Structure 1
Amino acid sequence: MFASSTYHHRRQALAQQFSDHGLLVLFGNEESPMNYTDNTYPFRQDSNFLYFAGLEDTGHFLIIDLANGKTTLYGDDLSLDHIVWMGNQPSMEEKQARIGVELHATYEQGLETIRKAAKAKQTIHYLPPYREERVSLLAECLGQTAAATRQGFSEQLCRAVIQLRSYKTNEEAAEMDKAVNITRAMHLAAMRSVAAGQRESTVAGIVEGIAIGGGGRLAYPCIGTINGHILHNHHHSNVIQDGQLYLLDAGASSISQYAGDITRTFPVSKTFTDQQKDIYAIVLKALVDCSAALRPGYAYLDAHLQAARIITQGLKDLGLMKGDVDAAVAEGAHALFFPHGLGHMIGLDVHDMEDLNENWVGYDEHTQRSTQFGLKSLRLAKQLEAGFALTVEPGIYFIPTLIERWQAEGKFKDFVNYDALAPFLNFGGIRIEDNLLITENGARLIGDAIPKGIAEVEAVRL
């Protein structure tokens, strides 16, 4: 947790964005049963509740009363039975002081406050509920259907939270450095341990163990695979073989739940083949050049298009693409090999604040989302500002089904040398990803550098 004044100032800044006399309701998360009530999934607090309250405990929520500016923390002190199983825990009075709120009351009293406000037709601002139990609880309190509750969240509150959380303070940046440094240890351990004959799950276990040992957990399910062309591959049962590439996209969360999100791709056979080096060098150039261009006022859409041009030119130099590079990118031909966005915001969430609406986070009135294959998956496009934290993750993938379908359709035949792709159909994919913080004059790497140059990676593998 940060100092209580941090959370107090955040709540003040949030309330100042509203002119009505309604209620701002910010729920924390509850335990989520895995297969019966007492056997739960690992607990993860709601990120917005964390941002404004800092409490990791279950069974709490905040109400900010805009009429008087006071915040109440709702929750219950533990019973003696709970203490027997869980040990002594801070009281509600102690939690109130810890996060700097004016009042505390029981959980049921908080629900009754919402019910009374709803009956009085008072404005109640709440964020989009992403768990069904929260939908049901809110629907009951608000006296409306579940469908109406899912749609009735406050756009104003969402935008207000995004406005605050988008700019990382120095203390937040320090937490993100910690998260990426734990992530660095995960990737180095994977680079040193991957060997032919192992199952992917062995490496995934090493990675997750380091994340837990760092005091947090994985920030998202580990992608660790020899099938790097499957972008979100959480399948870990393949046996690793010589000659293959191993792609690890994995990040740790710090104790305070700030996330790291790093990808590295390296050879199982200790050194890259010439074919692997050729593709890797293109992806690395895209990462390095695009990272160097980041600065306040620079649209991240332009960074994405820069990466697309670098990838297209590199593949053209290898004879896999052809024609005018700018025209190929404008028409979307490069997306055969680079079918996702260059990156996204990162912070308390690995895809930061996207529960509040991805377009409100990554786009604005000056930047509209494309419908073009590949480009439509760009999560962040708007102009960058100092304090933004983001990922840069270019990649090249050889997806057999996509290649075969586009070739059969004669799609982009003026830009793609389909006949030259046969030797790459079993290649897999390469993605390299760093996390950066936008500064007043440019951008800095979050955390310590993680080997990514060809010679650096091979030195770790050897």
Structure 2
Amino acid sequence: MGIEHSEYRKRRQQIMEKVGSGTAIFRSAPMAVMHNDVEYAYRQDSSFYYLTGFNEPEAVAVFAPHHEEHQYILFVQPKDPEKETWTGYRCGVEAAKEIYGADEAYPINELNEKLPQYLINADRIYYHLGSDRHFNDVVLSHWQSTLRRYQKFGKAPLALEDSRQLIFPMRLVKSPTEIAMMRKATKISAMAHNRAREFTRPGVYEYQIQAEIEHIFRKEGGIGIAYPSIVASGANACVLHYIENNRQVEENDLVLIDAGCSYDYYNGDITRTFPASGKFTPEQKAIYEIVLEAQLKAIEEVQPGKPYNEFHDMAVCVIVQGLLDLGLLKGDLEEIIKEEKYKPFYMHRTGHWLGLDVHDVGTYKHNEETWQSLQPGHILTVEPGIYISPHIKPAEGQPEISDRWKGIGVRIEDDLLVTATGHDILTADVPKSVADMET
């Protein structure tokens, strides 16, 4: 399973239609250093990979539809047997054309010499000024050089525009092949979550549960974690991005696991919360039931044509009503929501786009008033939660929280594909009912 070369070509044709008379420049991700001279396993920039399938550092892709000979150009590291002995095989310049479909390819050290020919006849340059300041300066320098030609020749790229406006809408709607990749990533993620729940019991350590999860990821063909796995027992579940995973699970603990597999760069993202000893306490069960109802009601709102915010608004409404019923909030439901007095318990949004990035690209709002409408091919998470930290500070005018509630953290998260008629829960293989969590 993988993305075929024909799909990459289709993507490049689409991006070049958008580029028109301009030139677009995309830069590969840099190598990341773990410590001293030890590097992390390389992870390509998602947009670069989306357009090229090329998985090496020190590369630049240029799209110049107006050029007479070369519309798709790659700058890559040349073959170097001595360096490849240490750092692994390189594709090289010739194979960049043969395998990756470039019209022309050059060694990366010839970028400054060769790039101007693809800029001088463009009416604008598309490039995202990202965190690579050195390469930002390279692009800006070439842009300034071409601007100096305008007075003499009457032709130059007068505008520098962000390339994200071209590619993000493309990446937001997944192709059938991408959906198949996401199904694989979520299937492996689901297998790992089910194994984790089987393995968990009082006395094990969070990192042991993490090891079971990540073992499944690799065993089933994933390239690893989609993000640092969260295995949070007891009050640790009230820390949204807890990743220490070093506590021993105790009797009557809830265990919140937020973990996903990356499969050929496509990512799963699942959260489940369950009692380590197999039985909820009354307080844990009450909170869990509110979160589960909020998630189920929110999922119903994931329909094509609906504004993105409606499933979040539904989750907030259910959570606030549930906390009112338990006496953890007081007052008028609409006023509490308007004044955000629920936020000490629920401080994040109910979901995000999912794909090549875990928090995938794409707009949520077109402007202050208009939300993005859900469309077939969108993939998103639905993940409401309630977190009653031992250190919780209620909003002004709200009741103090009894100790019997403190330390309870619950989140339930699934990955949904928007379809033409509704939605498909990609992570439905992971149970979440109260009965299932207590078996």
1:170-224 CA-partner distances (Å, limit 9, x unpaired)? 1100000111111112211211222222222222222223223333111111111
Paired residues for 1:200-279 under 5 Å? 200-213=206-219, 214-226=221-233, 227-254=236-263, 256-279=264-287
- Tell me how far 1:447 sits from its aligned partner: 4.5
1:178 equivalent in alignment to 2:184: yes
1:378-405 CA-partner distances (Å, limit 9, x unpaired)? xxx532111111000000111243425x
Paired residues for 1:3-402 under 5 Å? 3-20=4-21, 22-37=22-37, 39-68=38-67, 70-85=71-86, 90-114=91-115, 123-130=124-131, 134-143=132-141, 155-213=161-219, 214-226=221-233, 227-254=236-263, 256-353=264-361, 361-365=363-367, 367=369, 382-402=372-392
- Partners of 2:32 and 2:42 within 8 A in 1: yes
Comparing 43-52 with 76-85, which one deviates more in the overlay? 76-85
Q: In 2 relative to 1, CA 447–432 (structure 1 residues): closer, same or farther, beyond 3 Å?
A: closer
- Tell me how far 1:284 sits from its aligned partner: 0.7
- Partners of 1:181 and 1:448 within 8 A in 2: no
* Matched residue, 1:438: 418
- Partners of 1:180 and 1:252 within 8 A in 2: yes
1:217-246 CA-partner distances (Å, limit 9, x unpaired)? 111111111211111111222221111111
Residue identity in the other structure for 1:438 = V
The structure with the greater share of residues assigned to helix is: 1
Q: In 2 relative to 1, CA 120–169 (structure 1 residues): closer, same or farther, beyond 3 Å?
A: closer
* Matched residue, 1:374: none
Tell me, what secondary structure is at the counterpart of 2:99?
A: helix
Q: Distance in 1 between matches of 2:226 and 2:176?
A: 21
Q: In 2 relative to 1, CA 238–447 (structure 1 residues): closer, same or farther, beyond 3 Å?
A: closer
Q: Distance in 1 between matches of 2:88 and 2:416?
A: 40
- Tell me how far 1:127 sits from its aligned partner: 2.0
- Partners of 2:222 and 2:261 within 8 A in 1: no
Q: Distance in 2 between matches of 1:97 and 1:447?
A: 38
- Tell me how far 1:51 sits from its aligned partner: 0.5
Tell me, what secondary structure is at the counterpart of 1:422?
A: coil
1:426 equivalent in alignment to 2:435: no
Q: In 2 relative to 1, CA 212–335 (structure 1 residues): closer, same or farther, beyond 3 Å?
A: same
Tell me, what secondary structure is at the counterpart of 2:296?
A: helix
**Structure 2: gaps of 5 or more residues:** 143-158
- Partners of 1:345 and 1:352 within 8 A in 2: yes
- Partners of 2:217 and 2:223 within 8 A in 1: yes
- Tell me how far 1:118 sits from its aligned partner: 7.4
Comparing 386-395 with 311-320, which one deviates more in the overlay? 311-320
- Partners of 1:180 and 1:448 within 8 A in 2: no
- Partners of 2:23 and 2:119 within 8 A in 1: no
Q: In 2 relative to 1, CA 448–113 (structure 1 residues): closer, same or farther, beyond 3 Å?
A: farther
Q: In 2 relative to 1, CA 280–365 (structure 1 residues): closer, same or farther, beyond 3 Å?
A: same
- Tell me how far 1:52 sits from its aligned partner: 0.2
Tell me, what secondary structure is at the counterpart of 1:99?
A: coil
1:269-326 CA-partner distances (Å, limit 9, x unpaired)? 1221221111111111111111122111211212111111111111222222233222
Q: In 2 relative to 1, CA 17–424 (structure 1 residues): closer, same or farther, beyond 3 Å?
A: same
Q: Distance in 1 between matches of 2:94 and 2:118?
A: 25
Tell me, what secondary structure is at the counterpart of 1:271?
A: coil
Q: Distance in 1 between matches of 2:97 and 2:277?
A: 56
- Partners of 1:7 and 1:52 within 8 A in 2: yes
- Partners of 2:127 and 2:162 within 8 A in 1: no
Q: Distance in 1 between matches of 2:119 and 2:97?
A: 26
1:64-111 CA-partner distances (Å, limit 9, x unpaired)? 113237101111332121343466554433332333222211112234
Residue identity in the other structure for 2:224 = R
Residue identity in the other structure for 1:56 = N
- Tell me how far 1:444 sits from its aligned partner: 0.6
Q: Distance in 2 between matches of 1:118 and 1:15?
A: 14
**Structure 1: gaps of 5 or more residues:** 145-152, 354-359, 369-380
Residue identity in the other structure for 2:203 = G
